[in-house]
Amino acid sequence: MWWTRALVIVAVVASAAACTRTPDARQYEVHGQILGVDRDRQEVLVRHEDIKGFMPAMTMPYRVNDPALLDGKQPGDLFTATLVVEDVRAYLSTLTTTGHAPLEAPPAGPLITDADLLKEGEVVPDHALVDHTGTPRPLSSLRGGRIALTFMYTRCPLPDFCPLMDKHFAAVQQEIRTSPDLSDVRLVSVTLDPDYDVPAVLERHAKALGAERGRWYFLTGKPDDVLAFAKRFGVTAQSGDPDIGLVHNLRTAVIDAHGRLVTAYSGNTWTPAELVADLRKAPAPAH
């Protein structure tokens, strides 16, 4: 697929489209270049300039609210657009071509190889991670219970990226609280911004989300350790210049009580109900 060959691997924005805006929707003007068009997903991958008052220059996919906006659009087109940001989604309501320019060549070879990726049934390896209380927390320390694991960072500006993962996990946590058959399940959110997301920052984030201590863990560590761990799940993150925002893709995994990978979702199209169903199917601890 075209997005796996882009300058960076990015998450798929897959929220449902709508033609109306909620009263609290925010609008921003966006300028940049189109890198790819996916009409089936109603998305456009763009490299955009700083979005004043919202986010720095970045390479991201955006959903359009009207598929007709993609008509005639080609990689290399320069554009101006209107970005609408609502509570749990973001989309382009206008997309106008203003010119055309050659695309920069992508780096040679994939960012993640097949050998990097954990396969279903393989044991998730340990890395030197710590949780939001500052306690060393290799993943093996949670072995004996099933795990739902995702990646995020606290400063993520797009509501249908990391904040949506947080909301989904909060919903899963509520289901776990009321389901005795899921009492062994633990939730793990791993930051992709370890330089900023130190334990104290993650502790505040956990409290804001109502994360139950001992049930929902937020992990960080040295950047090399965090990114090496993320790579095993097919996750990459790039920040480059300090003024450039973090660009990353989304992956969420189910791990069984023996520490083996059961399944993994790409992007944000999964629902809390689907994750709970896969947790129930995963091998549980022996009683």
Q: Is the confidence at residue 160, as pLDDT, over 50?
A: yes
SS3 per residue for the chain: CHHHHCCCCCCCCCCCCCCCCCCCCEEEEEEEEEEEEECCCCEEEEEECCECCCECCEEEEEEECCHHHHCCCCCCEEEEEEEEECCCCEEEEEEEEEEECCCCCCCCCCCCCHHHCCCCCCECCCCCEEECCCCECCHHHHCCCCEEEEEECCCCCCCCCHHHHHHHHHHHHHHHHCCHHHCCCEEEEEECCCCCCCHHHHHHHHHHHCCCCCCEEEEEECHHHHHHHHHCCCCCEECCCCCCCCEECCEEEEECCCCEEEEEEECCCCCHHHHHHHHHHCCCCCC
For the chain, the average pLDDT equals: 84
Query: Is 44:61 a contact under the CB 8 Å cutoff?
Result: yes
SS3 per residue for 155-219: CCCCCCCHHHHHHHHHHHHHHHHCCHHHCCCEEEEEECCCCCCCHHHHHHHHHHHCCCCCCEEEE
* Choice among 19-23, 97-101, 250-254 with the minimum mean pLDDT: 19-23
pLDDT confidence tier of residue 183, bands split at 50, 70 and 90: very high
Residue bearing the bigger pLDDT, 158 or 39: 39
- Average of per-residue pLDDT across 143-163: 91
- Write down the pLDDT at residue 156: 86
- Write down the pLDDT at residue 99: 96
Query: If 0-12 CB within 10 Å is exposed, 13-18 middle and 19+ buried, where does residue 155 land?
Result: middle
* Choice among 9-18, 64-73, 269-278 with the minimum mean pLDDT: 9-18
Please give the domain boundaries of the chain with CATH numbers for all domains: 2-14+21-100 (2.40.50.320), 114-281 (3.40.30.10)
Residue bearing the bigger pLDDT, 147 or 107: 147
- Write down the pLDDT at residue 11: 38
φ, ψ (nearest 5 deg) of residue 71: -60, 125
What residues contact 92, with CB distance under 8 A and at least 6 apart?
30, 44, 62, 63, 64, 65, 69, 81, 82, 83, 84
The two structure tokens encoding residue 151: 């990646």
Q: Is the confidence at residue 238, as pLDDT, over 60?
A: yes
CA distances from 27 to 94, 211, 219 (A): 11, 31, 33
| Residue 152, beta-bridge partner list | 191
pLDDT confidence tier of residue 124, bands split at 50, 70 and 90: very high
Q: Is the confidence at residue 285, as pLDDT, over 80?
A: yes
Q: How many CB atoms lie within 10 A of CB 47?
A: 17
- Average of per-residue pLDDT across 240-250: 60
- Write down the pLDDT at residue 24: 66
* Choice among 37-46, 104-113, 123-132 with the minimum mean pLDDT: 104-113
- Write down the pLDDT at residue 245: 55
Cα separation, 107 vs 93, whole angstroms: 31
- Write down the pLDDT at residue 287: 64
Query: Is 247:59 a contact under the CB 8 Å cutoff?
Result: yes
Residue bearing the bigger pLDDT, 109 or 165: 165
- Write down the pLDDT at residue 113: 66
- Write down the pLDDT at residue 112: 64
Q: Is the confidence at residue 268, as pLDDT, over 50?
A: yes
- Average of per-residue pLDDT across 4-19: 34
Cα separation, 157 vs 150, whole angstroms: 17
- Average of per-residue pLDDT across 210-228: 95
Torsion of CA 6, 162, 121, 282, to 10 degrees: -150
- Write down the pLDDT at residue 25: 77
